[in-house]
Amino acid sequence: MSENVYAVSEKYGELPCPARFDVPGSSLCTFKTGGPVKLLAEPENEEQLSAALRLFGGDCLILGKGSNILIPDEGLDVPVIRLSGGFCEVSVSGCTVTAGAGAMLRDVCAAAYENSLTGAEFAYGIPGSVGGAVYMNAGAYDGEMAFITASVRMTDRRGNVTEVPGDLCGFGYRKSLFKSVGGVILGAKFALARGDKDAIKARMDELLNRRRTSQPLEFPSAGSTFKRPEGHYAGRLIEDAGLKGLSVGGAKVSEKHAGFIINAGNATSADVRELIEKVIDAVKRDSGVTLEPEVILL
């Protein structure tokens, strides 16, 4: 076995990056549900990632911090790639914050604050990775990734690396170019502005406090379960339909914020999925609006 081999898979043979087997899906997503992930590969640099992509071909799933997905109870047989190591680094040069796709958004916000840079405060408290946030154009409190993304570094499944300017990323409400091109986000550069450090900290604290007081952060969830329908708010539609507190097994519509489906205790992914369907049907009957899940149902 060569020195750069980290593990051996029965199906794929020698693996070119750190990997784990039969990892509980509940440990990989914020819903805390889901069956075992048969193979979790965690490349630490672009060379390892390219090698893993070549080995797995198109038969693999790219995972961020699992804050917007539902892993099925039967688990995942396809290899899952989650970026680690160097992909989690954050650096600052002038008014630009450069972050690997595996870095947490909170680390970007912290680096911006430490360097008196404003513009990323809206992302403080969003429990996702840079790659996941760019992929879905995450946003909150009148801000979104599209507003600050200067460029995105990505690779296709063959290892060809491209730098995509922010204005060509196809950002829209909870969507981006990267949802359709089938590549892997490696990192991004965020263009911020000089600001007052105390004001930046005050805004971050204000938004975090708003989250804590209005959202059920004490329970596992994937944040807002549904996309915002045009001209409406999903949480208000769900509340108006009398669905607060509705439950299926251990899954429940939060009584604190109806836009959240939470794991109130020992929920299964099937519980969550069934409750999502019940909410969609009930809201459609009550208001005529068809809700669309924001959570990715694997």
- Residue 10's pLDDT band (boundaries 50, 70, 90)? confident
| pLDDT tens digits along 214-244 | 999 999 999 999 999 999 999 999 999 999 9
- The confidence score (pLDDT) of residue 4 equals 52
Q: In this structure, which topology does domain 234-297 adopt according to CATH?
A: 3.90.78
CATH code, residues 88-213: 3.30.465.10
| pLDDT tens digits along 30-63 | 999 999 999 999 999 999 999 999 999 878 999 9
239 assigned to active site: no
Q: Pick the residue with more confidence: 71 or 3?
A: 71
- The confidence score (pLDDT) of residue 199 equals 97
| pLDDT tens digits along 88-146 | 999 999 999 999 999 999 999 999 999 999 999 999 989 899 999 999 999 988 899 99
- Residue 3's pLDDT band (boundaries 50, 70, 90)? very low
Could you say which of 26, 67, 151, 224 is catalytic? Answer: 224
| pLDDT tens digits along 177-213 | 998 887 899 999 999 999 999 999 999 999 999 999 9
194 assigned to active site: no
Percent of the chain with pLDDT over 90: 89
- The confidence score (pLDDT) of residue 198 equals 97
Could you tell me the pTM of the whole model? 0.90
- What residue segments make up the domains of the chain, in order of their start? 7-82, 88-213, 234-297
Within this chain, domains 7-82 and 88-213 share the same CATH topology = no
* DSSP strands (E only) in 36-171: 36-41, 61-63, 69-70, 80-82, 90-93, 96-100, 117-118, 139-140, 143-144, 149-155, 161-165
Task: In whole angstroms, give the CA distance from residue 55 to residue 50.
Answer: 9
Could you say which of 82, 153, 174, 211 is catalytic? Answer: 174
228 assigned to active site: no
* Domain covering 7-82: architecture: 2-Layer Sandwich (3.30)
- From residue 192, alpha-carbon distances to 131, 148, 272 in Å are 18, 6, 38
